[in-house]
Structures are given as C-alpha cells and as structure tokens.
Structure 1
Amino acid sequence: MRKLLMACGLGLLCFTSAQAQEEAPYVPEKDPLVLQKLEEWQDWKFGMIMHWGTYSQWGIVESWSLCPEDEGWTQRTPAGIPYYEYVKKYEALANTFNPKQFNPERWAKAAKGAGMQYLVFTTKHHDGFCMFDTKQTDYRVTAPNVPFSKNPRANITKEVFTAFRNEGIHIGAYYSKPDWNTENYWWSYFPPKDRNVNYEIAKYPERWKKFQQFTYNQIEELMSDYGKVEILWLDGGWVRPLNTHTKESLSWNKTPAQDQDINMPGITAMARQKQPGLIVVDRSVHGPYENYRTPEQQIPDKPLSYPWETCMTMGGSWSYVPNDVYKPVNKLIHNLVDIVAKGGNYLLNVGPGPDGEWHDAAYTTMEQIGAWMKVNGDAIYGTRAIAPYKDGKVCFTRKKIGNSVYAIYMLDENEALPATISFKGLPVKKGTKMSVLGAKANLSWKANGDETVITLPASVRKQAFKHAVAIKIG
C-alpha cells in the first residue's frame, strides 16, 4: 500500500476506492448449460491439480524465478547470477526435458483410487512453455529441440487428458494468461520490470492485439483438439481489464497498472461454442467469467455464498522438489471434510518430477485417502452445506437428494473412537435412526437440552477407524 500511495503522489496512475474494489460481488452465470455443469461440479467435491514443466529438472518453484520482482518465491539459483544469463539457462531446460517414465495411466488410476473426480492440468504456466502441441510457438514440448518430442506420447496434455478421462475423471485445463516467453507480452526490446506486460499497451496497441490473438488461438486449440473439457482454469489474475482491479491486484504492479484486457467475452463465447456448458474460472477477476472462486492454500473460516474451491498442495510445493514433505493423511482428510462441510470443493496438487513420476509419498498418501473415501464417500459426494456446518470436532453435510444428514467426527492422529459423540446446533427429530458408515450397528442417541449425544457400542469402537468417522442421520 505504501508503494501505491507514493506512486499516486508522483502523479502516476491512481485508482479511487470505488475502482480498486476490495471484493466485487459474485456474478451468477446465466447460461443454463453452465449452471447445470456447476451443479454437477459441486457434487464432485474432490479433484487433482498438477503443476509440471521443464522447471521440474531443477526442482524449483514453477516459472517464478523468471520474474524480476524481489520476493521469496522469485529467487534465482545460484544467488547472484545475472538475470539474462539465468533466463538463457532456464529456457535451455527445454533442450533436456525427457520424462521417460511418463505414465499418465498410473496417475489416473491413483487419482481414481483416491476418490478424485476431476483433474486440472497445467497446459502452460507463466514461463510460456506449452505442455501441448500448440501451433502458436516453438516453446513447446513437441518442438524438435525437446528430446521428448521423439516420444510417441510427446503431446503430454492430450495423453494426460485421455488417461484421466478413461478413468471417468472430469477434465479441466489450467492455462496461464500471462506468457513470459512471447514477444507480445514480454517484448525483448524492453527489460521486464515485474510480472506484468513490459511495454506501454496504449503506445503499442498492435502488439497487444497480437498477444490477444495468440491467447485466443491457444485456448481455441485446447478447446478443439483435446476431447471433452469441462473446466477452463485461467491463472495470472493481473492480466485483466483496468476497471476490474482490486487493491490486491494493484499490489502486483511495480509499474502503473495497464488495461491488460484479453477479450474474455470473445474467448468464453468461442470456448463454449466448442465445449457447451464449459465452466470458466478467470481466477481473482471477479465478474461474469469467474464461475467459481479459488482460495489458494487456505480454507475459509465460514461458508461462502458462491461456488468455491480450495486449491492446495499435497506437499509443500506446487512444483516438484526433490525432498518435498507431504502433509499427513489425517490433515488432508480433515481439510476435505472441513471444506465440504462449508460447501466447497478440494483441489489437491501433485508435482511430477523430471522423469515423469510422482514422489512415492504421493501414491501412498492417495491410497490412504482412497481407503477412507471408499467407506465414507457417501458423506462427501453429492452433498451440500447445512448449518451449523461445524461444532467442535464434528462437521455436518447433507445429501442434495434425500433427507440424510451426516455428522463427521474428526479423529486426532491415533485417537480411538470415543464412547460418545455429541454436538449442538443440529436438531434431530425423535425416532431418527443413526448409523456409522462402515459399521452395521444402529446407534442409540438422546437429546440433552440443545445437545445431541450419540452412544457408540463396543462393537463399533473396536473397529479400526482412522482420520474421521461419518454418522448417518436419517
């Protein structure tokens, strides 16, 4: 904020508080096919996102070391290497990218086994390297200089989409709006100053028009040549019309903000003509092209009034790092339960390595999540939020169809199932039957004032429940 105020004081471009909105209202979709798809998407609940590119060879943060901003996630290695020397080395990673162990069928089976119902795959990140066979640039996985281009499975995006689709998993395409490799975004005539376009759009409008067309053409390729795609997940929220900026997005500009309008109305119309009902997620650009919102690496404190999805890493990094530490399964399942109880979806990230494989921990983690989901999935899929959402260690969900409600008790690591579970805030009618998913016994319960107290018999408690136990009410 200090930098923004200083810029205004120097006579540079300023925004009123009305222009720099804190949180614009959610704009509901009007297309009936998209509304239907959003309803289906809210039934899926659990998905996977994968960040993968040439950067996996160095085990570094995806793309961001190219950005000339001085932030913790933009640092270059080795420290002190001159910027343009580093860029040259980074772009040369394409010449050695050869993930010989690439086996998307194994990934898809693991995702299916974990109970994931949709995928969002990085077709292109901010560095501009395309993991698909685009005709718009030579900076792509199928280019002759890339060793993997000789592999019959070189069109990685197509192979991934096909493998996951064959497992019944819905397909989403991640696409970065900024492209730090193309001359029409970062023009080599000028040095980049931050993550934004590095020339004055008003002075060079034809160059920006070429970038708009480049973006349109690439998205058209993805919507035309890669089978059924149900989500277009657009990242790089600083690429946006000038009048849509928020205080947060203005903080991403070291130079005065520009009108980086890429013609979302035209892109969306084209994409939906080719993929009817397509969900479009123009991340952080609140308006008609943000069909759902995507809090990153965090879970909202309370339910939100619009469709939303928490995107989060399974380990510590979005991209592959050699010794990444994965979150405990107990934590991941508790996150899932908490998110679903608040009406959201959980999009969990895995970063493949330079050989085309995941960490072993990714597979074992997903196996354990899958074991829990096989027993308790009915309390997750096809549910909606119900007040009070959560009371202590108990979260609530309700089936969209039917009258069943679930009280999901979250177990601490190595905690044994208690003899009683109680909660407040959710009235239960006299005579309502209760049972534990994964156990056959009916449960006895009583109302104690505004509290419901459920007794768990010894036959249930001796079973090896882990992570959380779901009690079906009704």
Structure 2
Amino acid sequence: MKKLCLLFISFFFLPALLPAQSTPEVAANIKTNKKIMDGFMDLRFGMFIHWGPVTLRGTEIGWSRGNEVPVEEYDNLYKEFDPVLFDADKWVKTAKDAGMKYLTITAKHHDGFCLWPTAFTEHNIMHSQYKKDIVGELAKACKKQGIRFCIYFTVLDWYDPNYPNHLPGQKEIDPKADMNKFVNTTMKGELKELITRYHPYMLWFDGDWEKPWTQEYAVEMYNYLKSLDPDVIINNRLGKGDHTEMTSTSVGDYATPEQKIGALNMKDPWETCMTICQQWSWKPNDTMKSLKECIQTLAKTSGGNGNLLFNVGPMLDGRMEERQILRLKEMGDWLKIYGESIYNAKGGPYTPNDTFGTTRIGNKMFIHVFSDKLRSLRLPRLTGVKFLQAHFIGGAKVSYTQEANGDVLISLPAQLPDENDSVIEFDLNSNAENIPVITMNKN
C-alpha cells in the first residue's frame, strides 16, 4: 500500500517536476544577417499597395467580407474584376517619383484572392476577367526601374475551406477544416510560387492573431522560407505576440507598428505602415493626409530610426487616384532637396516630438524643424560634442550659441525655407552616430 501511495503521489506531481515547455524560436544562424537588414533600413521609404476585387465596392479589403458586403457577393467580386487601366510601370514610377525605394503589393489578403496565377486555388487573377499576372508585372517593372520588389501575404484565409475560420472575428472553428493541409500544402505551395517566380526582397506577413495559427507553425514557416531564399527579409507578423516591437520570441526580422509612428529604437529594426488616406484599400472621397502630415510622418519615422511603408489604394479600373499621385510627387520633390537627411541616416540622438526631430550620418546631424512659427530652438547638451557650423540644407547659414551648460540655442529666421519641414545641417566635432539617445518631451 505504501508503494502504491508513493506511485500515486509521484504521478500526480509529475507535471510540476518536468521542465516547462519553451516557446519555439528561430535558430540564430538562419536569421537574416545584419548587413542585409542594415541595407533595408537605409532605404527608409517604401510604397504599400492594398488592392483587389473589393475595389468594386469601395469597402475595406478583407474586413468588409460578411460585414458591409455579404459573403457570397464579396467572394464573387473577382468575376467582375477587370482593371483594364492597370499599368505596372506607372505604379512603380509613382513610387520612384515619390522618392520611395521599395514597393510591397498585397499578393494575397485575408479574403483569399490571389493576384498571381497560383496552382493552389481558382480564386485568383487568372479566373477574373483581367487574366494577367499582376504580381509578375509589378516584379518586372520594379526590376526595370530599380525599386526593391516586396510581397504582402497573410497567414489566414477566410475563403479557403481548410482554414478553420471563415469570417472576421469568428469564434467557432470549422470542424471540416484541415489546418495542417492548409499550411503544408496551400500556404507553403503559394509561398514557394511567389519566392521562386518573383524573388521578392521582402515578405510582409499579416494575420497572425487568429488561434489556428500557432507559434510552432510560424517557426516552421520561417525555416521553410529561409530554405528557399536565405536572404529574403521577413517581418515579425509571421509569429504571435505584439508586432510593434521585437522580443526574444519574435519570428521575423523587424517590428511593424501600424497607423502610428514607432518609438525611437537604435537596437531593433522597425517599419511603420500607414495609409495616405484613411482606408487601406480604395474608398471614394476618402480623406487624404496633408502634405505637411505626410512629410513630417516620414521625418519623425526616420528620426526614430525606422522606415515608413506608406499605403495607397488604387481604384477598380487599375489607376491610382491623381490626387494621391500628386501628393506623393510632392513628397518626392521635398526629398530631392532634403533626402540626405533621410536615406542612409540613423535616427536620434534626440527622440522626435511635435516640434523637431533629428537624424545623423557621420559627423553630421540634421535638425528637422516641424513648426514654421518657431523663432528659436533649444537642444539639450550632448556630452563631449561641439557644434562647429550650421546651415539650412540648400540655403543660408543658421545662427546658434553653445551655452556654458552645453545646450545649443538656435536662432531661426522669421521665414523658414519650408513650411512642412525645414532641415538644418550641423557639422560636429565627432561622429554623430555614436551619441547616446536623449529623451525629449512630446511637444
């Protein structure tokens, strides 16, 4: 009886004695190397494109399925989809004229529609009235114009019968679905097509939050993708958890805050994704951001050491709205003057706020002045740093005083060179990239 009791106690408490199961992680030796990631972060500015048959209704891609648009109607929109005015070269030229260095297309969103001729579902562009490979044409146009080509791909698919959820926010799991088959046949098959045919520079994943997609699937998929292309960059939405920052369990190479500018981070790469209007896909008469907001969003993102992936939503006939093209061109015109303070430059050392932000490269520090009503600007002291001379980029010298406590007081003219963001270039006596971060108030 005594032995039986001991056996029972041992069995009962066995789980507590066993080591806790660790969260699956990606092996360090297959992660994208630092040189490739540094090259990606030097680009600073990219175009995001959300587009598909949903433009026929002007509602949000994926999320309006079963909400604003009935499921059966939504799922059959592709039969009407015929974007006869789509021109890949024009899209890519729009990105290039905006000063963007990479382009990311929603090859497959949560509604399951594929913009390339895949063998794994008939729900693709070749079964629409258009019958042309959108992804392929964009890949060729990007290569021709020197823009890095990237692909958005979601890990969920509300259309596919093997994916267990079929509606946004659905709680019930479809008992007939086969998640393993979906992941190992459909998802891997589609991703292999995309990588081997179009050779994307980066894969932008989404949809990691639903329960059927697990951390185990994420790690397995990252390993699989790296077996196909060791150099492809992968964002952190392949894995579970908070995508706004990188953690020890993140599956992917960089963080992806959405519709907000990320915090200054000199350690981990990150990219803010944001819309030029309000909705990701095209919406008639959608409110568009002012030029000031667009430029300052880019400058604040760069000042925080991040990239900006700026979204446009082309219309149902394949054209981008002229007003969006013009707004992007205005950003490109600004970058022609001030681009040296954005591309290849590091963020900091001051955290960006609503008054100013800073970027730096070598012995130069750039001050982005956001308010055209300022007449002076005080920079808190930087230990061991001497300010040698200053001028507006492409313009006049700037007067300043380095005070006894080390603070720098900058005198600003009554009329600043640029009402959206005037940039002052400072020469320093040492490498600005080595200066520790200085935290600033928001205003």
TM-score band, normalised by shorter chain = 0.7 to 0.9
Amino acid at match of 2:101: Q
| Aligned match of 1:339 | 301
Matched, 1:370 2:332: yes
| Aligned match of 2:44 | 45
Taking the aligned partners of 1:96 and 1:302, their CA distance within structure 2 comes to 45
Matched, 1:470 2:426: no
Contact conserved, 1:428 with 1:452, CA < 8 A, in 2? no
Equivalent position to 2:144, from 166, 179, 200: 166
Residues 185-216 of structure 1 deviation map (CA, whole Å, 9 limit, x = unaligned): 158xxx7683478335xxx78x2221112100
Contact conserved, 1:29 with 1:291, CA < 8 A, in 2? no
SS in 1 for 2:318: coil
Q: Using the TM superposition, give the Cα deviation of residue 288 of structure 1 relative to its aligned residue in structure 2, in angstroms.
A: 4.6
Amino acid at match of 1:148: Y
Taking the aligned partners of 1:115 and 1:340, their CA distance within structure 2 comes to 14
Matched, 1:147 2:139: no
Contact conserved, 1:280 with 1:290, CA < 8 A, in 2? yes
Taking the aligned partners of 2:388 and 2:224, their CA distance within structure 1 comes to 51
Q: How does 1:298-309 map to 2 (within 5 A)?
A: 298-303=260-265, 305-309=267-271
Amino acid at match of 1:467: N
| Aligned match of 2:232 | 278
Amino acid at match of 1:52: W
Matched, 1:348 2:310: yes
Taking the aligned partners of 2:273 and 2:310, their CA distance within structure 1 comes to 6
SS in 2 for 1:470: strand
When residues 184 and 317 of structure 1 are mapped into structure 2, their CA distance, relative to the original with a 3 A threshold, is: same
Q: How does 1:111-126 map to 2 (within 5 A)?
A: 111-126=95-110
| Aligned match of 2:208 | 237
| Aligned match of 1:218 | 190
Taking the aligned partners of 1:293 and 1:391, their CA distance within structure 2 comes to 21
Runs of 4+ in 1 over 6 A off after TM superposition: none
When residues 367 and 330 of structure 1 are mapped into structure 2, their CA distance, relative to the original with a 3 A threshold, is: same
Taking the aligned partners of 2:106 and 2:44, their CA distance within structure 1 comes to 20
When residues 380 and 368 of structure 1 are mapped into structure 2, their CA distance, relative to the original with a 3 A threshold, is: same
Q: Using the TM superposition, give the Cα deviation of residue 465 of structure 1 relative to its aligned residue in structure 2, in angstroms.
A: 2.0
SS in 2 for 1:390: coil
When residues 182 and 258 of structure 1 are mapped into structure 2, their CA distance, relative to the original with a 3 A threshold, is: closer
RMSD: 2.9
Taking the aligned partners of 1:356 and 1:36, their CA distance within structure 2 comes to 36
Taking the aligned partners of 2:408 and 2:387, their CA distance within structure 1 comes to 13
Matched, 1:198 2:173: yes
Taking the aligned partners of 1:108 and 1:235, their CA distance within structure 2 comes to 23
Contact conserved, 2:254 with 2:270, CA < 8 A, in 1? yes
Q: How does 1:343-422 map to 2 (within 5 A)?
A: 343-390=305-352, 393-399=355-361, 402-411=362-371, 415=372, 420-422=376-378
Taking the aligned partners of 1:332 and 1:101, their CA distance within structure 2 comes to 27
Taking the aligned partners of 2:72 and 2:354, their CA distance within structure 1 comes to 53
Residues 2-28 of structure 1 deviation map (CA, whole Å, 9 limit, x = unaligned): xxxxxxxxxxxxxxxxx9xxxx9x989
| Aligned match of 2:434 | none
Amino acid at match of 2:129: P
When residues 55 and 410 of structure 1 are mapped into structure 2, their CA distance, relative to the original with a 3 A threshold, is: same
Equivalent position to 2:82, from 92, 98, 107: 98
Contact conserved, 2:65 with 2:167, CA < 8 A, in 1? no
Contact conserved, 2:30 with 2:226, CA < 8 A, in 1? no
Contact conserved, 2:236 with 2:256, CA < 8 A, in 1? no
| Aligned match of 1:55 | 54
When residues 373 and 175 of structure 1 are mapped into structure 2, their CA distance, relative to the original with a 3 A threshold, is: same
Q: Using the TM superposition, give the Cα deviation of residue 278 of structure 1 relative to its aligned residue in structure 2, in angstroms.
A: 1.0
| Aligned match of 1:109 | 93
Taking the aligned partners of 1:28 and 1:310, their CA distance within structure 2 comes to 26
Residues 345-396 of structure 1 deviation map (CA, whole Å, 9 limit, x = unaligned): 1111001110001112211110111111111111111122233223661211
When residues 405 and 237 of structure 1 are mapped into structure 2, their CA distance, relative to the original with a 3 A threshold, is: same
Taking the aligned partners of 2:168 and 2:234, their CA distance within structure 1 comes to 30
Matched, 1:424 2:352: no
Residues 166-199 of structure 1 deviation map (CA, whole Å, 9 limit, x = unaligned): 2211121100111111111158xxx768347833
SS in 2 for 1:263: helix
Taking the aligned partners of 2:365 and 2:75, their CA distance within structure 1 comes to 53
Contact conserved, 2:378 with 2:407, CA < 8 A, in 1? yes
Q: Where does the alignment leave 5 or more consecutive residues of structure 2 unmatched?
A: 1-19, 242-248, 428-443
Taking the aligned partners of 1:277 and 1:366, their CA distance within structure 2 comes to 30
Residues 4-62 of structure 1 deviation map (CA, whole Å, 9 limit, x = unaligned): xxxxxxxxxxxxxxx9xxxx9x9895447532211111111111111001000100011
Identity of aligned residues (%): 27
SS in 1 for 2:126: coil
Residues 257-314 of structure 1 deviation map (CA, whole Å, 9 limit, x = unaligned): 4564673344333423333311112416253522111111112355474211111110
When residues 110 and 295 of structure 1 are mapped into structure 2, their CA distance, relative to the original with a 3 A threshold, is: same
Contact conserved, 1:393 with 1:409, CA < 8 A, in 2? yes
Contact conserved, 2:222 with 2:252, CA < 8 A, in 1? no
| Aligned match of 1:442 | 397
SS in 1 for 2:366: strand
Matched, 1:293 2:293: no
When residues 429 and 56 of structure 1 are mapped into structure 2, their CA distance, relative to the original with a 3 A threshold, is: same
Taking the aligned partners of 2:54 and 2:320, their CA distance within structure 1 comes to 15
SS in 2 for 1:396: strand
| Aligned match of 1:70 | none
Taking the aligned partners of 2:390 and 2:68, their CA distance within structure 1 comes to 57
Q: Using the TM superposition, give the Cα deviation of residue 325 of structure 1 relative to its aligned residue in structure 2, in angstroms.
A: 1.3
SS in 2 for 1:349: strand
Higher relative contact order (CA 8 A, sep 6+): 1
TM-score with structure 2 setting the length: 0.82
Taking the aligned partners of 1:430 and 1:76, their CA distance within structure 2 comes to 59
SS in 2 for 1:49: strand
Taking the aligned partners of 2:308 and 2:415, their CA distance within structure 1 comes to 31
SS in 2 for 1:442: coil
Taking the aligned partners of 1:216 and 1:167, their CA distance within structure 2 comes to 30
